[in-house]
Structures are given as C-alpha cells and as structure tokens.
A and B are shown apart, each in its own frame.
Chain A
C-alpha cells in the first residue's frame, strides 16, 4: 500500500470484500457470518434497525474497533485482496486508504486548513506545495471550497454544522483514500445540510467507493446504488437499491422498508 501522495492502482471492481465475518464484543455475538462485496466507485448503503451492527461492521473496515479491547473477530475483510486484519498490516497506513466521517461533525479545534491537511502532515512525506494543492482539491471535492477559500486560517469551529460535516468529508478525502466510510453522516444535521450532503455523495462516487450507514430509509433510496439490509447482526439481503426497494427477496426486508419495525 502506498502513501497518499502517490497514485494508487487498484484492480477489479470489488473495493471491499467481506467474507464469513463474525465479531464478538466479549460474549456478545454482534456480527454473524456476514459475506458481501462493496463495488468500486459505487455508493453502497447499509440499512437496518438500531443496534443491528451496521456501525460495527463499518468500523471494522478501517479497524476502528481495535480501540475496544473486548473485540474478537473471525473471518476476513479484504481490500484489494489483502485482509485488513493481517498482522503485518500497518493500521495507520490502512486508515489513509479508508477514510471515515462520523455521525456528529468532529473537526479539530484548529484552522480549517490545518484540519484538512492533518492526515497529510501526519505522514510526513508530503511537500508543502503538494499539501496546499491537495487541501484545495479536497475542499473542492467536498463542495465547500468557495465558502472557506477566504478564511482558511479561521478556526474550523466557526463553521455551521453542515459546513463542519463537509469539512470533515474534505478532511477524510485529503489522504486520497480508495474507500470512504460514512456513519450516519447527516443524522445530526438540518434538512438543508442533509440534502446538500446527499447530493455531494452522488458526486463523490466518481472519486471514491462510498459506504454509508444510515437509519434513514429514504436517504438510502436517494443516494445509493447498492443497499444491504442488516438485522440483528445478520446480513438479510443485499443487492441493487432499486431492486431491493421495489421487489425485495426477503420478507424481513419488505417489512422493514414498509416501516413495520425500526
């Protein structure tokens, strides 16, 4: 895996492959034998009722669950054919290839520029010109460049909620990841900001593979190409969004989409 400043080559049309994946938090079997593929440069939504393991699955892809000590896993999650749980993998390096945006916007109490440049500076390999360029490009990709281009040295906390979230997206994009994970990115935002970001996601898939966890069925329908439905830790159904929403195979999927339970 190479550093963010260099171009990355990828093969095939599968960005992330999950195979027979199981996860336990202590004695709790949270994810049960999940197998699915996330297609490259497409938006895949993971939906399901609260507590069914959506966020947990997402956080496994960039190994954020390592922070919880009682975690035990079985199975594989591979990116570009390499299992991310391989002992030889440098976790920090992995996370430059897989970016994450969190539910509540969490910009650092630093300047806007420093927020976006953070991932690059930490890697210590980038030249100053490259950093300037990548920061600008990332802010453009996140549709926030025009709003902040004159105040890059202002504190990131001076932005509104929606702006902060787009800043977080720009920040995640700055390391030039192949995959972008979003964990309910709009649940803390107002409707206008939400709409903005949903449009942005449709555009972003031109640059990265997008995987979004959402409890908002409508949002999944609006933004995603593929949808997977998780219930009680199991993958119930997975397929193209249109098909899943209009003619789901499984009964539970249909019931969930009708709002019969949540």
Chain B
C-alpha cells in the first residue's frame, strides 16, 4: 500500500532528524573542545633551554675548500682550503687543531687527518637547521628578516635579546613569525654567543668562515604550568594569568560566602515555615523574578548601589556582592528542593522525641539535606565564576599589579577573555584568550564535576 510506505518513510525521516538534533550537542561540544585546545593549548608549554656549551666542536662532514698548510707550528695549523670529512681536513684553514705528535708538515702538504678543537668561521650562512636550533649573536643589535630564498635561511644579523624574555611560546617577535610559518619550523632564541661572519654552516658544515666559541642551545618544548602561576608580561602578550585566577577565586568565594547562608535560611523558611501564605507567594515571585533578571542589569544595579551609593568603588567587594545576589535564587531553589526530599519520617522521629521545630531543622533536616544543598551551591559557584556582565562595571580590570585587596578592582578570568579579544591587538592575544578560556572552563568543569559526583554518590547511598 502506498500510504503504508509513506508512513514508514515519514517515520524514518523523522527519526533521523531527531537523532541529528540530539547528537548536535555532542558534536558541537567535541568540536568546541578540540578547537579550544588546538588554539589555546600552546600556553601550557614552554621552551626550556637545554644548554650545551661546546668548546670542543667535533665536526662531521665539514667541507673546507682548498685547504693548504700555511703555517706549521705544533698545535696550530693554518689550512687555507680543503675538505674536512669526519674531522679530517684535506685542505683548508684550521686554527688550533690537534696534530699527531711528532709529525712535521711542510708547507703546501696535503693533510689527511686532523682533529679540530677550535674552528672559526667567517661570514657564515646558516643553510639548514633543525627545529630546535638557532644561533644568535650578542654582537649585533638588529634583527633582520631571514633570507628565505631558496631552501635555506640566511641569518645575517641576529638580534641579541634578553634571554629571560624569550623563554615562553608567546615571545615571538613579528620579525621571524613569517619565517616560522612558511618553513614550519620553530625558532627559539637563546643567549648563545656565536659569531658568524661570512661562510656557510650546513649543520656544522662550514664553507669558509670563522666560528668562534660555540655554545649551542637546544630548545626543548616541555609542558609547563607557568600560564597559571605567573603574572602577565610584555604588555599582555605574554606571561600568565595568575592574578585573574586569584581575582575570580576571591570574588566567587566571597559571593558564595554571602549568598549561601542567606539562601539556605530562606529555603528553610519556604519549606519549613511558609507563613503567612500571602507573604510566601510574594517572596516566591520575587525569587523567580530575580532569577530572570538579565546579568547586565545586575551589573547596572551593582554599579549604582555598591560602587556609588555605598562608595565601595570598583572593587572585589562590589563585584562579589553583585554576584552574590545573582546566585541567590539558584541557591534558594537548590536548597528548597534538597529540603523537600528529606523524608517525613526523619522529621516525625525528631519531633516525636521531643525536639522543637528549630532543633528538628537544625539537627536532622539540614544535615540530611546538606549533600544536595552543597551540590546546588557548588553549581552556583560555577555560575558565578563564569559571569562577565555583572562584574564589568563593578570589579573588573584588565591589568593590575599587586595583590588583590577587597577594595581594589581585580582581574577576572571571564573579563580577561573578553578584554583580550576586544581590546587586544596582537595575534598572540587570541592564543592567550583561548588559554584563559581553557583555564576557566577547567575551573567550571571541575566545579560542576564535583557537584555531579556528589549527587551520584548520594543517589547511590540512598538506593541502599
């Protein structure tokens, strides 16, 4: 029958649409997390300088053209040109090399075996290098674009920079950013002091030139928590976000400190006393309305009342008080639900033993409902940590030095993300913003995860 088939196909199509809608959330979340970490993951690594000062350079595959013994004194042979293969110089200029004892070389003798201690390279050209190497010179002060023509980079003059500044991923001067992108290599500037003047080094192959005193530095990428533990540096293009973490931590802690007692007590009123009924109705309407007020309106309110009227100025105090009122309805609802499910038997048992209502609540009902209340409170904390609008005009600052204090503004994680994205100018600030987002998300996840685990444990216990 045709209609039967139509019905069957309609059902199949309908189910497919529903399945797509349902799994959209998962797909989006996965995409979200993957992209978040790909963009922001870089902040959790840093380049460790692994230093090796090489005073004794063993040269492999060194080619020196046209080496001629110029001067023959023990331990000091000058070779004009030649090829060194595996430490052997056939021809070329070498300074200060080991010669086998008791050997006497006449001028213009071809050398067949030579170990080189100290090699000087003039006019060196870096032909190739692995991802972790670069050389810098203290003697020149300007940084120029590497010559990326051909298959190698010609680093002529390299900026010497203060080494501490360049220890993080994010200190990449624009100048060599392009090179990195094009050649897919990472450059790490070290405080070596190699001088090149002329010549070419092909990964220790030298074509003419002087290499003086080669401390080599290996840059190694290691996971690091510097992002969480250090303060912002270099005009917000580097360093960490520790003050923001501190600020968010203080504000949410204070907020929950204010809101939790009031919220739980209010819930007790609503669930255990609830008298007179008209007042209760008004209170419930007030709570529902508070829950629905947009967060920016809370920000305005906080500005008028706390910042201006109570003269608390833009500060942690203002911000946390505003947040406290924001999360109050959440706590009241969660606490009320928690108290509702405390079994009647508990209450009757307490009263039957002669406890007063107050005692029953304080010693039996509240402890019984506490796990669920805590779950709700924890979720409220998560909410407070992530809110931006209420703290825009009451607490937040972009860059602050010094320890947070109650009456001073503070940095905050959500605000930091917003500020970086809308006021920052450097590309790297996107990465920092993403890193901050990861930290904030991790915080919220840990908080919510704790709540879920507590809730799960309670359910297990109750299903004995």
Chain A in direct contact with chain B (Cβ < 8 angstroms): yes
Interface residues of A (CB under 8 A from B): 3, 90, 92-93, 122-125
CA distance A92 to B7 in the complex (A): 10
Q: Which residues of B contact A123 (CB under 8 A)?
A: 3
Q: Across the two chains, which residue of chain B brings its CB closest to A122?
A: B7
Q: Is the interface of B mostly helix, strand, loop or mixed?
A: helix
7 intermolecular pairs with C-beta atoms under 8 Å apart: A90-B4, A92-B4, A92-B7, A124-B3, A124-B6, A125-B1, A125-B3
Q: Across the two chains, which residue of chain A brings its CB closest to B4?
A: A90
Q: Across the two chains, which residue of chain A brings its CB closest to B10?
A: A124
CA distance A90 to B7 in the complex (A): 12
Report B337 CB to chain A, min CB distance, Å: 28
- 0 or 1 for each of B1-16: is its CB under 8 Å from A? (1 = yes): 1011011000000000
Q: Which residues of A contact B1 (CB under 8 A)?
A: 3, 125
Q: Which residues of A contact B6 (CB under 8 A)?
A: 124
CA distance A122 to B7 in the complex (A): 9
Report A64 CB to chain B, min CB distance, Å: 18
Q: Which residues of B contact A90 (CB under 8 A)?
A: 4
- Having A93-B4, A122-B7, one finds 10 other A-B pairs with CB under 8 Å, namely A3-B1, A90-B4, A92-B4, A92-B7, A123-B3, A124-B3, A124-B6, A124-B7, A125-B1, A125-B3
Q: Across the two chains, which residue of chain B brings its CB closest to A3?
A: B1
Interface residues on B, range: under 10
Interface residues of B (CB under 8 A from A): 1, 3-4, 6-7
Q: Across the two chains, which residue of chain B brings its CB closest to A90?
A: B4
CA distance A8 to B164 in the complex (A): 92
Report A127 CB to chain B, min CB distance, Å: 13
Report B104 CB to chain A, min CB distance, Å: 98
Q: Across the two chains, which residue of chain A brings its CB closest to B7?
A: A124
Q: Across the two chains, which residue of chain B brings its CB closest to A92?
A: B7
Report B396 CB to chain A, min CB distance, Å: 50
Q: Which residues of A contact B4 (CB under 8 A)?
A: 90, 92-93
CA distance A19 to B127 in the complex (A): 90
Q: Which residues of B contact A3 (CB under 8 A)?
A: 1
* CB-based closest 4 A-B pairs: A124-B3, A125-B3, A90-B4, A123-B3
Report A166 CB to chain B, min CB distance, Å: 29
CA distance A165 to B261 in the complex (A): 53
CA distance A168 to B4 in the complex (A): 25
CA distance A93 to B7 in the complex (A): 12
CA distance A124 to B6 in the complex (A): 9
Q: Across the two chains, which residue of chain A brings its CB closest to B6?
A: A124
Q: Which residues of A contact B7 (CB under 8 A)?
A: 92, 122, 124
CA distance A187 to B1 in the complex (A): 39
CA distance A93 to B3 in the complex (A): 11
Q: Across the two chains, which residue of chain B brings its CB closest to A93?
A: B4
Report A131 CB to chain B, min CB distance, Å: 14
Report B13 CB to chain A, min CB distance, Å: 15
Report A1 CB to chain B, min CB distance, Å: 10
Q: Which residues of B contact A125 (CB under 8 A)?
A: 1, 3
Report B7 CB to chain A, min CB distance, Å: 7
Report A88 CB to chain B, min CB distance, Å: 13
Report A117 CB to chain B, min CB distance, Å: 16
CA distance A122 to B10 in the complex (A): 12
Report B10 CB to chain A, min CB distance, Å: 10
Report A249 CB to chain B, min CB distance, Å: 45
CA distance A90 to B1 in the complex (A): 11
Q: Across the two chains, which residue of chain B brings its CB closest to A2?
A: B1
CA distance A136 to B137 in the complex (A): 100
Report A126 CB to chain B, min CB distance, Å: 10
Q: Across the two chains, which residue of chain B brings its CB closest to A125?
A: B3
CA distance A125 to B4 in the complex (A): 9
CA distance A125 to B1 in the complex (A): 10
Most buried by B among A3, A92, A124, A125: A124
Q: Across the two chains, which residue of chain B brings its CB closest to A124?
A: B3
Q: Which residues of B contact A124 (CB under 8 A)?
A: 3, 6-7
Report A70 CB to chain B, min CB distance, Å: 21
Report B5 CB to chain A, min CB distance, Å: 11
CA distance A213 to B7 in the complex (A): 32
CA distance A90 to B6 in the complex (A): 14
Report A140 CB to chain B, min CB distance, Å: 27
Report A45 CB to chain B, min CB distance, Å: 34
CA distance A205 to B1 in the complex (A): 30
CA distance A92 to B4 in the complex (A): 9
Report A90 CB to chain B, min CB distance, Å: 6
